[in-house]
Amino acid sequence: MTPATTTDPARPFGRVLTAMVTPLAEDGTIDLSGAQELAAHLVDRQSHDGLVVFGTTGESPTISDGEQHAVLEAVLDAVGDRAMVVAGVGTNDTAHSIEKAQSAARLGVHGLLVVTPYYNKPPQAGLLRHFTAVADSTDLPVMLYDIPPRSVVPIEVETLVRAAEHPNIVAVKDAKGDFGALMQTLARTDLAYYSGEDMLNLPLLAVGAVGVVSVVGHLVGTRLAELIAAVEAGDLARAREVNDELLPVYTGIFRTQGTIMVKAALRELGLPSGPVRPPLVDATEEQVAQLRVDLAAGGVVL
């Protein structure tokens, strides 16, 4: 299935993507119709070029492979003809990651997100071998996900330079916050960078990122599109205005774990979300009350 969105080689996954939550029923089972409704809302009403399904925000650690397969299929059916559907397939097991990548490819996803293997702390040689092995396993474009706060191990510049030699490794979702390393990588490769940390969206875009893989995009996708357009137009004053307006939203969603607060916000908006799965816990009444204040300050009408 080919998305209607025209792929720009400089922006292989588009500009605005959100790491979509996985809607659950109240009993904790997967809500497939809710996933389709939410995906359509994000694409049709929140200006999304694509969706990352089963990144961390999608609760990938606690969603089984079979459940992930079903959700990917449902989202593809809902929006795959008009948006990039990117499957999060990375784990800390190379063989398992390859299996997930090939399964997602057979479904017809448009790209893969591959996170740095977590917990087992591989050396850089292991990271490179892992990434290239997954990239070898399908013909799909791959976005690496560099997030040392969760994986402990950062992807070093030299590793990124070597990974970029692989024709399928075309992008990085950056949640490392190391601007020196980012600029060195941009200078030495053709990798497309996407901001993976909402509070750093503007500075990452200003130094060369081409888009965002956002969490707050569930709520403010059209304004993120406006932010990116302002940067691309060289209007940094307008970009800062938009970013300043969004700061309360960034703050509100990340007062605790992002999935928890986004699901709470979606419930407030009457959109599919449902509970989180353990070991996450749902937002408290006090947290929801503060979230309402934060979102109102950021212009999100509940």
Q: Residue 231, annotated ligand binder? A: no
Residue ranges of the alpha helices (H) in the chain? 32-45, 65-79, 94-107, 124-136, 148-151, 157-163, 179-188, 201-206, 217-232, 236-253, 258-268, 285-297
What does the chain come to in residues?
Answer: 302
Orientation of helix 285-297 relative to helix 258-268, angle to 10° = 80
Is the separation of the CB atoms in 92 and 58 below 8 Å? no
* DSSP calls for 216-284: THHHHHHHHHHHHHHHHTT-HHHHHHHHHHHHHHHHHHTSS-HHHHHHHHHHHTT-S--PPPTTS-PPP
Residue 193 annotated as catalytic: no
173 counts as catalytic: yes
Categorise residue 21: left if φ over 0, alpha if ψ from -120 to 50, beta otherwise.
beta
Options 118, 119, 145, 194, the catalytic residue? 145
Ligand-binding site membership of 22 (annotated)? no
DSSP 143: E
- Say which of 100, 121, 173, 250 is annotated catalytic: 173
CB under 8 Å to 241, separation ≥6 — which residues? none
The two tokens of residue 221 are 């996708």
Binding residues for pyruvate: 57, 213
Active site residues: 145, 173
Binding residues: 57, 213
